[in-house]
Chains A and B, each alone.
Chain A
């Protein structure tokens, strides 16, 4: 109630909130509404003939076995990407948080990969992993591993997970490092005096105190794995072989772009939106309870 005394009247409050509201409306709600509307239509590529079909696009979609396959692929892929990018990011942050010579240089170098665009990262990795041409691919083949992401779905999945993780590690590293530095030294020193070894200190003190950062990063990384990996998949595998790297967002892109099926593509993006909203809600409802701020 005290706030009222500071901002007299609603007008000023509305005025101050307006820019943010306008941005949300124009860039978030309007396109989302457009997608929702488009998902009820069957239309040709040029928009010359339009038919309103209610939920037909959704029904068709839910009857396609490939769609369920894509849902499974997306969750599997996201799980791998989130786990490895967080784990490696945390490991590197813990290492770089020590007092060693040239620590600033290490930190800077660890952040650089984040500046590489996903599609470019993909191309770099293709150079290394292309069977017959890439260095790593040839090394694998020389050691008797039949590396073939063009035909082997598991290999293709490994490839895009590596690229996606590599691209995201820096981001996680940066936040974990900041989180680690905000943990009071006195707590850790007290534990050390009590005789706790480094591993125990990490799991009982550092890790719980990092939980706000970890929670934030989980949310961000899931969104990253769900949406921002589109460029990686498109350049590295194009969803193949045999749909084994075709995630939900890649299918939205492919059906809308290559298939010119805007209605079906819009229906998919609406479902995707619902999945992500649901996931985020669950995280805030249940996981956040375990977070110590």
Chain B
């Protein structure tokens, strides 16, 4: 009896070991990602659809926690010698990934080697630029992209006597003051403080964050965002923070509820906030492009993206690479991109998908979803607005946030805080450069 049970268990184990799928030569490809909620469903659906569309490859998605957790899990797995085939990495992890030469396989190389049809020109440059080398070779495959917009509570604005959402920074400051009368705890606020006030702000005003095209042209980049325009922005925010006309909501997006609850009438955050607003806001709302200083020469330039891309890890078998290449072709399909864009609120990555969505009249019904696309494509990207690539960017954002917090709390002047953010950031860049170039 005991022996028979053992036999059955062994048979089951053998079946599991050889893969439960009936097809014998199925190549499994691990896909580690950081998507939660409805976006997790999208990931699973994509994998299922791809697996159903052919019988040779099987994409296995695994949720690995937050973006930072996923990156760390991937790094640890690589060190232990069993990295996944595909890894989703957030935009600020780009420099870390590309510096790890033996650990990754550039997407453009992969597609060429596997003979997949791949035209870099068919992708939106504002999106792929962030994930490409200076020569335009795509390193990773953009997956979920968004940009920063300003959300406006139209009812609250009307109550404060404001007819339309502000377009420029001076208008934002004036409106925040007016809102203070009707909503004393918060007029205007924001999430992702460094992404909005340093990274997007610099691109939108066509001024550099660092030398060497914000690090895209080399790891020997030096930060230089402690410029007069940036100082002017921070000085104004510090002034408004005193009576909470502007009220800081933290480093990440944990404060977003302050917009949907109606507390803050103007709120700068990601365009990917849309599904949340749609579900929870009980007032008339809209999203408008980020404000700019009208006296800045090139403003508004174009915005940059946030979000994540898919990296292909190095040292995998030929079959796995073939499968990954086919999966990327599958993802680039116009109809699939249109569907993803409309269902998740993330941006389409190909020009064809954007055009098709536009032609279908979708944006007339959902104008908010086109705002980030209009920002990204406002002008052809320059060296200051193609993206940024600073090593150690994950922690650098924390350092910059610390300094902005010091200024907002009145512990340092705006200029002192920005100088400190630049010099502490440069130290981190030199440390990164040292390990990356060897």
Contacts and interface: CB of A to CB of B under 8 A. Distances in A.
B386 interface: no
Contacts of B79: 46-47
Contacts of B261: 132-133
A260 interface: yes
Contact of B398 (A132, A141, A152, A258): A258
A42 B186 CA distance: 45
The SS class assigned to the B binding surface is helix
Interface residues of A, number: 30
Interface in B150-178: none
A230 B398 CA distance: 17
Interface in B163-201: 185-186
Interface residues of B, number: 41
Contacts of B436: 44, 49
Interface in B235-249: 241, 248-249
Given A141-B185, A257-B68, A133 B257 contact: yes
Contacts of B419: none
Contacts of A162: none
B395 A259 contact: yes
B435 A132 contact: no
A240 B68 contact: no
Interface string B376-413: 00000000000000001011001001110110110100
B78 A241 contact: no
Contacts of A49: 435-436, 438
A47 B77 CA distance: 11
B82 to A, nearest CB: 14
A131 B100 CA distance: 41
Contacts of A258: 68, 394-395, 398
A278 to B, nearest CB: 29
A240 B395 contact: no
A150 B438 contact: no
Nearest to B412: A242
A42 to B, nearest CB: 6
Contact of B72 (A141, A150, A257): A257
Contacts of B257: 132-133
A46 B409 CA distance: 37
B100 A45 contact: yes
A255 B392 CA distance: 10
A46 B395 contact: no
A5 to B, nearest CB: 47
Contacts of B250: 150, 240
Interface string A257-272: 1111100000000000
A151 interface: yes
A153 B75 CA distance: 33
A212 interface: no
Interface in B282-313: none
Contacts of B72: 257
Nearest to A47: B79
Where chain A touches its partner, the secondary structure class is loop
Contacts of B331: none
B204 to A, nearest CB: 25
A259 B438 CA distance: 19
Given A42-B435, A242-B406, A48 B101 contact: yes
Contacts of A151: 241, 248, 405, 408-409
B251 interface: yes
A49 B233 CA distance: 40
Contacts of B394: 258-260
Contacts of B78: 46-47
B234 to A, nearest CB: 14
B249 A259 contact: no
Interface string B423-438: 0000010010011101
Given A132-B263, A257-B68, A258-B395, A240 B402 contact: yes
B65 to A, nearest CB: 12
B218 interface: no
Contacts of A51: 434-435, 438
B75 A45 contact: yes
Nearest to B99: A44
A49, A242, A255 — which one has the most chain B CB atoms within 10 A of its CB? A242
Given A133-B261, A240-B402, A260 B249 contact: no
Interface of A: 42-49, 51, 131-133, 141, 150-153, 238-243, 254-255, 257-261
Closest 9 CB pairs of A and B: A44-B435, A259-B395, A49-B438, A241-B405, A242-B405, A46-B100, A258-B395, A242-B406, A46-B103
11 contacts: A42-B431, A42-B434, A47-B78, A132-B186, A151-B408, A240-B250, A240-B402, A254-B398, A258-B398, A260-B392, A260-B394
